[in-house]
Amino acid sequence: MMSAAEMLDRIFVTVPMLRVEMCGETVSISNVAAGTAKRCGPEILELLEYFREPRTLRSWLTRPGASPQNVPTAISHAFLIDVDQLVTAEVGPIGSATRVSELLAQEVRADTVIFGAPVDVASTGRGGARCGPMEIRKQMQLPFAAAGTAAGTVYLDFEMRRQYSGPPPSIADLGSVAGLAGEGMATYGPRITLLSEMILGSGAVPGMLGGDHSCTAFALEAHLRHWPALGILHFDAHHDLWPPAGPQFDYFTHANVFHRSLGSPMLKAIRQLGLRVFEAASAHRLQDDSRVSFFSARELQRMEPEAALAGLPRDIPYYLTFDIDCIDPIQAPETGTPLPGGLSYHQALDLVDYAAREFELVGWDIVEVGQASGAFNGAAGCAARLVRQLLLGNRPFEPLGAYTQPVSTSLRAPVDPASAARRQPQLDGLGIWTGSSH
């Protein structure tokens, strides 16, 4: 049981999407997702407005003229929520398991802050993407140490023939956005936006593990408010540009993600990569927008990453969103709407690596990874490796000729056997080597 003094220093925030109705002298507030409702005096609105920014209870109670009277009601009816209750901790965190309150109080500094969005209510295909965060975390097995504690560790990447130098990435993992049974995206999604805003406010790069692709629309909402201009690199078999079928169908699906984002003038460009969907559509449903450009999966078979990402404005930050169905279902079958003829894992890795080096990536997600159907989850395996490449981002590295020996050295100087023995690598299951420099 928390003491009153401890409670005062907890950080609370107003739950998004409360329903507020004025009824004469009183106001009726309801949290539809939680199933709570309460009629209150109108002064509660000031309280809820104040906590739209995450703040401690103490800060409210020490404000001149502020009243404590609605605080217990607001908390017991889930109008105000402790920020740590926005998420549930997950097994196998990537980097250091971190509470939201620690991030907000700046007790943890991280380059990237990971969170999961285990939800698939907006999928029109097979479900299962709610398992994505868990399935990806299971396959990460990353040696990335807890934030700020990894001095002296180096990372090798045999596949890419690189030895990364400089400080390793510091990564915090908040767990996953908590959901309520039967909840839809109209209330779950805004909590993704809220968490993304908090991470952006901390100065870190948010990295989201979906979830169906509708999650991206809510993360992007935070980005499009935060950045004066933004571009999107969109990996997908589908364009996800469908407008709602009509005003009566204004619900969220994983197929109308970018139609929603294009409503923002802050979105300057979107490059779609890997498209290969055959569809019949009335022409008016897909309107030309000069911000949208794409290459099909087939076109990409003959293109270098440089060409695939050419022609985009380079003076703006980018958000990278990766729907795992971009990769061919032979390698990544565990997804809701698979289509044949996708990118190979290696093509995708080359593109993501190039994007991370050449563009300023300020946020990213990997979505639509489903549940394993057998012993190995190929989609999650591909996703975990793409996550690793995104976490390494644009860090400097030395090219490797063989194991830990830089190419330049191997070509020019004989190897000192004693030093080679000291640098004997330890392999882990993902082909990453880590060791402290002892």
Give the max Cα distance, the chain.
87
Distance in Å, CB of 247 to Mn ion, minimum: 24
Q: Name the nearest CA neighbour of 227 among 316, 313, 103, 115.
A: 316
- Contact flags string 237-256 toward Mn ion, x per CB under 5 A: ---x----------------
Residue with tokens 């159907």: 373
DSSP string, 241-293: -PPPSSGGG----TTSHHHHHTT-TTEEEEEEEEE-------GGGS---TTEE
What number of chain residues touch Mn ion (CB under 5 A)? 4
Distance in Å, CB of 33 to Mn ion, minimum: 25
Q: Which residue number, 95 or 338, has a Cβ lying nearer to Mn ion?
A: 338
Please tell me whether residue 120 binds Mn ion under the rule CB under 5 A.
no
Distance in Å, CB of 119 to Mn ion, minimum: 14
- Contact flags string 197-216 toward Mn ion, x per CB under 5 A: ----------------x---
Q: Which residue number, 172 or 332, has a Cβ lying nearer to Mn ion?
A: 332
Q: Which residue number, 104 or 297, has a Cβ lying nearer to Mn ion?
A: 297
Cis preceding linkage at 211, omega within 30: yes
Q: Which residue number, 111 or 236, has a Cβ lying nearer to Mn ion?
A: 236
Please report, as residue ranges, which positions from 144 to 183 form the binding site for Mn ion (by CB under 5 A).
none
Please tell me whether residue 323 binds Mn ion under the rule CB under 5 A.
yes
Q: Which residue number, 213 or 271, has a Cβ lying nearer to Mn ion?
A: 213
Calpha distance 74→45 (Å, rounded)? 10
- To the nearest 10 degrees (0 to 180), the angle between helices 132-140 and 378-392 is 70
Please report, as residue ranges, which positions from 283 to 312 form the binding site for Mn ion (by CB under 5 A).
none
Distance in Å, CB of 323 to Mn ion, minimum: 4
Q: Identify whether the C-beta of residue 126 lies closer than 8 Å to the C-beta of residue 336.
A: yes
Q: Which residue number, 272 or 347, has a Cβ lying nearer to Mn ion?
A: 272
Q: Which residue number, 215 or 400, has a Cβ lying nearer to Mn ion?
A: 215
Q: Which residues contact 374 (CB under 8 A, 6 or more apart)?
A: none
Please tell me whether residue 236 binds Mn ion under the rule CB under 5 A.
yes
Q: What are phi and psi of 246, to 5 degrees?
A: 180, 170
Query: Integer distance in angstroms from the first to the last C-alpha of the chain?
Result: 45
Choose one: 73-81, 230-238, 294-302, 351-359; the region binding Mn ion (CB under 5 A): 230-238
Consecutive H or E run containing 363:
strand 361-367
Binding site for Mn ion (CB under 5 A): 213, 236, 240, 323
